[in-house]
Structure 1
Amino acid sequence: MAERPAAETPAAFAGMPADLDLSVAASAEDRTSHTVERITGRPPRGFRTVAARETVGGGGAQALAAGACGTSGAGAAG
């Protein structure tokens, strides 16, 4: 897609990524489901809660570097 000249990109398609970014920024995807609790027995937590827990003395960076959560620590989302 990067090679495609802007003149060849339909206007409706060109605006789609920006529209998605705006909707996400406006909390369109800020939701949880009951699936986490059903599978793990624990209530779901929001990203900010998990990020705060993992970065403030929680050892999150060390756990990811060590391969915890089924990731290699190379940017995969566990």
Structure 2
Amino acid sequence: MVHISDGILSPAMLAAGFLFTIILLILSLRGMVMEEIPKISLITAALFVASLVHFPVGPTSVHLIMNGLAGILLG
């Protein structure tokens, strides 16, 4: 399943997205407590499995996005 088709985004937009992702990853890893990695992994896996459930809406389907719940559970 692809949310954005190939060739839609320009190379400059892709590069900016990768750079932004790397910056956020570095900031996130610096603030992470090593003892919380199992909890983070378990919640991430559970919410990923829940997002695999699709609901038909008209001619297409939607799936759960549980970012808010993940934020609440992980603080």
TM-score normalised by length of structure 1 = 0.33
Structure showing the higher helix proportion among its residues: 2
Using CA pairs below 8 Å that are at least 6 residues apart, which structure has the higher relative contact order? Answer: 2
Structure showing greater radius of gyration is 1
Structure showing the higher strand proportion among its residues: 2
TM-score normalised by length of structure 2 = 0.33
